[in-house]
Amino acid sequence: MSRIAKLSRATSESKIELELNLDGSGQSEIETGVPFFDHMLTAFSKHSLIDLKVKSVGDIEIDVHHTVEDTAIVLGQAIKQALGDKAGIARYGDATVPLDEALARAVVDVSGRPFLVHSGEPQGFEFHLIGGHFTGSMVRHVFEAIAYNAGLTLHVTVLAGRDAHHIAEAEFKALARAMRKAVELDVRVSGVPSTKGSL
């Protein structure tokens, strides 16, 4: 069973081309024009073992918001497409990841019911410029776009942290590790892992 997807999205604000393989080895080629976001997507790929190729071009001279959010939308759509009917997946995944003083937890349910609970970032985090371009507020935007377009129930909690770079990276890595578990094929699962018969 091939669990790959190749999608594109073009608007007046951005053009996104994205490919992924859920059964990869964490290889990535990321180019969004937003260096810190490239760093986060590379980490996401590495720790989820999802192979990921992203080429995004957008109006970053105005703000990185459109490019980052649109890329995350397409990533969510690609995850949903690659999962297909979700037969045989583990469905649930969780991970708690440290990065120096920062600690983040992510819990994923490939439920088909989009929902995000995101908490614990320190006051003022959303205003912090990470890498000179990426505002802390974009972390939540990315998680929202992925969850709502992939059909995930996603809980992300920052448990500790001071440095904005460390906090954001711990969050992305926790999501990656949780996704790795949730989308993994489980040989003991027959069909769709739901009493309803569909996800």
Local structure of 38: helix, strand or coil: helix
pLDDT of residue 42: 98
Local structure of 51: helix, strand or coil: strand
pTM: 0.96
- Residues 107-135 pLDDT 10s: 999 999 999 999 999 999 999 999 988 99
Sequence length of the chain is 199
In angstroms, rounded to a whole number, what is the distance separating the alpha carbons of residues 199 and 108?
14
pLDDT of residue 20: 98
The domain ranges of the chain are 4-183
Q: Look at residues 9, 155, 3 and name the one whose alpha carbon lies nearest to residue 79.
A: 3
- Residues 170-199 pLDDT 10s: 999 999 999 999 999 998 888 888 777 777
CATH of 4-183, one of 3.40.120.10, 3.30.230.40, 2.40.50.140, 3.30.930.10: 3.30.230.40
pLDDT of residue 117: 98
pLDDT of residue 191: 82
pLDDT category, 56, cuts 50, 70, 90?
very high
Q: Work out the average pLDDT over 67-74.
A: 98
Q: Work out the average pLDDT over 15-26.
A: 98
In angstroms, rounded to a whole number, what is the distance separating the alpha carbons of residues 91 and 89?
5
User: Is the pLDDT reported for residue 148 higher than 80?
Assistant: yes
pLDDT of residue 193: 81
Other CB atoms closer than 10 Å to residue 132's CB: what's the count? 7
From the number of C-beta atoms within 10 Å of its C-beta (0-12, 13-18, 19+), residue 181 rates as middle
